[in-house]
Structure 1
Amino acid sequence: MKTPLLTITTLSLLFTTTLVIGQNTRFSDPKTVIKDEFWGNLYAQGGQSFFCDTPFTSKGFVLTDGYVYPLADIRGALDCGTSRQCEQDNRYRQIASDLHNMVPVRTRIEVHRRNARYENLGDSVKEGDCGIRESAHFFEPPARVKGDVARTVAYMVDTYGLPWLGASSVSQGWNRMDPPDDGELTRHRRIVEIQGNGNPFVTDPDRMERL
């Protein structure tokens, strides 16, 4: 008796997903990863800037490699010292090389965002460039990437044991309101191909509710 095609496909997808869940174990040299894998591979043909959704064909001078979970917070969580000291720490190098946490960001926005905490600021704070809201040390991304931010933060928390950046309930709410779209899923597949592991919160957003 033939096994239904749907069953075969489902089992195959489940098996594949099981294989790629886990930490980044392929890369541990952040500078090389940024140059060769992030800009030189993942975004070799250009793309869209993360927060502003602005098309680009190459990095240029207005874009930089941003980190959804900032490197300063990773250094603080690992307590590995200064930037230079942490660069000698194998654990830090592994986490800082994870492509799931890297996004192309306009340089000016990244400078403002680096030390901020994610939060719902509401209508009392006027939207700025690209639908971003900022107040003191808090940062609310535009609605179209709130889920992307939430699932990346959840991945970093769950995979590497890092603390939440702000309340976990904020990330869970953003995950529900902004489920993975085609762009996020396509980017995720490419990173799996390059890095070898996936973000389970992208492939199974309901997993966020169990954190």
Structure 2
Amino acid sequence: MKNTKLTTLFLTLLLLPLFVTGQNTRFSDPDTVARDQFWGTLHAGGGTSFFCETPFTSKGFTMTEGHIYPLAIVRSSLGCGTSRQCDQDNRYRQIASDLHNMVPVTSRVEMRRRNARYEQLGAGAREDECGNRESAQFFEPPHRVKGDVARTVAYMVDTYNLPWVGTSMVMKTWSRTDPPDDNELTRHRQVSKLQGNQNPFVADPNRLENL
């Protein structure tokens, strides 16, 4: 098992120089990207939902593409107006098309977390069957994806000059305690190949400490 993980990491690091560090410059049509690249390519064979590990074979009615860094906060930061108005803004369309920020989420979970900020919540926070915890407008994901969330948020903050959606201290802690696993490295490699750019915080998690 140890040798397998080392081999996976070695291959990932070997391939990373082929990808550019920077913004998504390949895609700028969120709906088309979601349909053709996210569901049509990355998850053409199904998979499991990000926050709950719910298995699925196709998008169906119970699954949707969720954005780890909420698009509502992107719209607010850009000041481009409503969702419909922002759809006419090229900068927003570029950010909303970034596959590094897109994960499969059950519609039920997405309704509860899509506008929330991330936080390490106290013991009194409500916990659902998947290990997600909520309190007011704050959301704490299960431990197994806390690092994934932190490294994606850091990528969006650093790449697109967006505000944090949770304190940088919490994100750094989550990244330390949940380093990249095989699933995250595989997803990162697939997205980087499709989109042409990498998330440098997955390639080098220690980079988050200096952000």
TM exceeding 0.5? yes
Q: Does 1:75 align with 2:105?
A: no
Give the number of equivalent residue pairs.
201
Q: Counterpart of 2:89?
A: 89
Q: 2: CA distance between counterparts of 1:35 and 1:19?
A: 23
Q: 1: CA distance between counterparts of 2:18 and 2:47?
A: 29
Q: Counterpart of 1:197?
A: 197
Q: Counterpart of 1:27?
A: 27
Displacement, 1:198?
0.6
Q: Does 1:142 align with 2:120?
A: no
Larger Rg: 1
The residue type equivalent to 1:155 in the other structure is Y
Q: Which runs of 5+ in 1 are unaligned?
A: 1-9
Displacement, 1:17?
2.9
The residue type equivalent to 2:41 in the other structure is N
Structure 1, residues 29-88: CA drift from partner, whole Å, max 9, x if none? 000000000000011111110000122111111111100011110000000111111111
Q: Does 1:183 align with 2:183?
A: yes
Structure 1, residues 181-206: CA drift from partner, whole Å, max 9, x if none? 00000000000111111100001000
Superposed, 1:25-64 pairs within 5 Å as: 25-64=25-64
Q: Which runs of 5+ in 2 are unaligned?
A: 1-9
Q: 2: CA distance between counterparts of 1:121 and 1:32?
A: 36
Q: Which moved more, 1:14-23 or 1:108-117?
A: 14-23
TM-score of the two chains, using structure 2 as the length reference = 0.91
Q: 2: CA distance between counterparts of 1:19 and 1:145?
A: 24
3-state SS, counterpart of residue 105 of structure 2: strand
Q: 2: CA distance between counterparts of 1:126 and 1:24?
A: 36
TM-score of the two chains, using structure 1 as the length reference = 0.91
Q: 2: CA distance between counterparts of 1:129 and 1:96?
A: 29
Displacement, 1:147?
0.3
Superposition RMSD in Å: 1.6
Q: 1: CA distance between counterparts of 2:146 and 2:109?
A: 16
Q: 2: CA distance between counterparts of 1:21 and 1:181?
A: 21
Q: 1: CA distance between counterparts of 2:190 and 2:19?
A: 15
Q: 2: CA distance between counterparts of 1:16 and 1:101?
A: 18
